[in-house]
Structure 1
Amino acid sequence: MLKWKLTQALLLTLLAVVGFGLLTILTFGEQLQAFDTQVITWVQGWESPALTTTMKLFSDLGSTLGVVIVTILILGYLYFVLRHRSEYLLFFVVVAGSAGLNQAMKLVFHRLRPDLHRLAEASGYSFPSGHSMSAFALYGILTFLLWRHISTRWGRALILIVGVAITLVIGLSRIYLGVHYPTDVLGGYLAGGFWLAASMWVYQSVAESRSALVRPM
């Protein structure tokens, strides 16, 4: 069972890398300019005061402050309540590593933010979206850890739906607010997916090695 999970994590890592590579080539080759413009126009066509407020709230969930607050709460719960030290380390590596990787990638790609119709202010480079990447990593690893401790199907389904929904709306909020291109958001998801899957693969590889050491000969 563990070997099958290792295979799945490795496949997801490779798919994310390939997907990100293709997206990057198409984005910076300007083949997706029309796609970006059309999606931004469509999404911002929903604009209303109530929706703008809602989108800003979801955007805050993926902000540095939002991620730090959620991370501290989850790390405290894992360390002091559940006392799952290995999961504590995995969670920290995924979240902190995602943030560091995103900053490094932005410095490499140097893509400027869209300047069509801003509903919020944002600084720094645009590709890949830090909010989307952090959301994918944070809520992805949280979903993974909660999944491991929930035995009922409905409970697991609920956790998965909530995690996916929050991640998608955070990405959508960045397009709606006019601070990211859709391709930035997709790039953030793929980069976050790569880091999450790679971290899970390493985590499960270590678990497999440890179980092999204690297995009777």
Structure 2
Amino acid sequence: MKFFPLSLLTKKFFLYSLGILAIFSYIFAKFADELVEKELHTFDLQIIHQVQGLITPQLTSVMKFFTFMGSIKMLLFLFLLSCLFMLWRKKVWEAIFLLLAIGGGTVFNLFLKWVFQRARPTLHPIIQETGYSFPSGHSMVSFIFYGMIGYFLLLFFERRVAKAISVVFISVLVFMIGLSRIYLGVHYPSDVIAGFAAGGAWLVICIMGLRVMIERGSR
């Protein structure tokens, strides 16, 4: 196999990416360890009481909207729409890695849930969910999918203002999806944070792979 040298810019990109990957991995490992040691009870309850102390009928409708934005139905719809658009624009590798990101992330989340087998909270559930709780699937897969879309937008937009708006919009959307899971009583805060961390780690790996393939194709 012929060795494919990476450009200096990509090597720097990988260096920063590995640093971010290490941070995400550490955060997940920290919460996973505290879950096993049963040290998350106080942390979770304090945040749950603060978040659910804000419950109103109007805010509940807003939170249900955000949790729908992280649902399987919505993500599948947006995924198919995004893939069709990228294939139309002949962005084949982008479409492939979006599939790998969301598909692999979903399987990874199910595996982690099976490993930890944490029951869902029962304090004040506004909606009903089944399955294990740690890490949050909504938070993890939303972080991966919307994070990939955000990365594509950063590549697409040339103006810094457009890039900044994209980052802020994606960040707020993903944060609100995670917050909605706590508000609606179907996840502990630690589930959400661990979901973001695990999703972030997988997202970084996928972006690194995509970067290599795009650079290889450009040569």
TM-score by length of 1: 0.94
Q: Could you tell me how far apart the structure 2 residues matched to 1:164 and 1:34 are? A: 27
Structure 1 residue 2: Cα displacement: 1.7
The share of aligned pairs that are identical, in percent, is: 33
Structure 1 residue 184: Cα displacement: 0.1
Q: Could you tell me how far apart the structure 1 residues matched to 2:160 and 2:217 are? A: 29
Structure 1 residue 162: Cα displacement: 0.5
RMSD (CA atoms): 1.2
Give 1:155's aligned residue.
162
Q: 2:93 pairs with 69, 73, 86, which one?
A: 86
Q: Could you tell me how far apart the structure 2 residues matched to 1:144 and 1:5 are? A: 13
Structure 1 residue 30: Cα displacement: 1.9
Structure 1 residue 85: Cα displacement: 0.5
Match runs of 1:33-48 below 5 Å: 33-48=41-56
Q: 2:112 pairs with 99, 105, 111, which one?
A: 105
Q: Could you tell me how far apart the structure 1 residues matched to 2:77 and 2:214 are? A: 29
CA deviation string 1:198-217 (max 9, x = no partner): 11122223445556xx4xxx
Match runs of 1:132-151 below 5 Å: 132-151=139-158
1:203 is aligned with what amino acid? L
TM-score by length of 2: 0.93
1:74 is aligned with what amino acid? S
Match runs of 1:1-80 below 5 Å: 1-80=9-88
How many residue pairs match? The answer is 211
Q: Could you tell me how far apart the structure 2 residues matched to 1:154 and 1:165 are? A: 16
8 Å Cα contact 1:43/1:176 also seen in 2: yes
Q: Could you tell me how far apart the structure 1 residues matched to 2:66 and 2:26 are? A: 29
8 Å Cα contact 1:10/1:201 also seen in 2: no
Structure 1 residue 94: Cα displacement: 0.8
1:94 is aligned with what amino acid? A
- What is the DSSP-based 3-state SS (H/G/I as helix, E as strand, rest coil) of the residue aligned with 1:102? helix
8 Å Cα contact 2:25/2:201 also seen in 1: yes
8 Å Cα contact 2:135/2:191 also seen in 1: yes
1:55 is aligned with what amino acid? M
CA deviation string 1:136-157 (max 9, x = no partner): 0011000001110100011000
- What is the DSSP-based 3-state SS (H/G/I as helix, E as strand, rest coil) of the residue aligned with 1:66? helix
**Structure 1: gaps (5+ residues):** none
Structure 1 residue 185: Cα displacement: 0.1
Q: Relative to structure 2, which stretch is displaced further, 16-25 or 122-131?
A: 16-25
CA deviation string 1:116-162 (max 9, x = no partner): 00100100000000000011001100000111010001100000000
Q: Could you tell me how far apart the structure 2 residues matched to 1:205 and 1:15 are? A: 22
Q: Could you tell me how far apart the structure 2 residues matched to 1:46 and 1:163 are? A: 24
